[in-house]
Amino acid sequence: MTTMNINTVNSLPYEDFVSVFGNVVENYTIVAAAVCLQRPFNSLNDLEAAICDFIDALPETGKEGILRCHPDLAGRDLQRGTLTKESNEEQARAGLDALESTEASRMAQLNQQYKTKFGFPFVICARMNDKDRILQQLSERCGNEVELERERGIEEVKKICSLRLHGLVNTDKLSKM
């Protein structure tokens, strides 16, 4: 898919906007529905800022809800082929679709440990990491406190969102008519 300019983003019908941007925050279309109402945007940066502002304004339970929408890395959804297109590409790029059996076992164990402790899955921007770094971060972050992990997870969501947005919208500012 080719990227669209901000004029096109601003002119999309509501349903199309939600369809196109509904997964920039994994499985959380309410973000796209909410920020659609803030159009017109002057730039991709303005659209991204609106999404981040929406996320930041959520109560802690809402932020945890966003985190719960993310799949386990190298988990059941990857094995079953039921990940979203975006997550599948991101996990494959990080090498999570080709783990050796010991790595897969370690990942499954750490994912379960993390979810048991925090109540939401481990979130990291897979496109900015490889499988070794992801395993290292997952192991280290299991030792954090809930508040810190919620904050770290949301920051990772924003990185994922930014990369997904940049794949959909070019960075040109609003064209003058």
What average pLDDT does the segment 10-30 reach?
97
The per-residue pLDDT for range 69-118, each reduced to its tens digit, is 999 999 989 888 899 999 999 999 999 999 999 999 999 999 999 999 99
pTM of the entire predicted model: 0.93
Contact by Cβ (8 Å): 127, 94: yes
Contact by Cβ (8 Å): 16, 59: no
- Residue 70 catalytic? yes
* Selected catalytic residue, list 63, 70, 150, 164: 70
Torsions phi, psi for 82 (to 5 deg): -105, 10
Contact by Cβ (8 Å): 176, 7: no
Give me the helix-helix angle, 146-168 and 14-21, nearest 10°.
Answer: 120
pLDDT at 124 over 50: yes
Q: Which domains does the chain carry?
A: 71-153 (1.10.3330.10)
* DSSP letter (8 states) at residue 169: B
Residue 4, helix vs strand vs coil: strand
pLDDT at 173 over 70: no
Instruction: Report the C-alpha dihedral over residues 148, 149, 153, 156, rounded to 10 degrees.
Output: 60
Rounded CA separation 63/61 (Å): 5
The per-residue pLDDT for range 38-64, each reduced to its tens digit, is 999 999 999 999 999 999 999 999 999
| pLDDT bracket for residue 151 (50, 70, 90) | very high
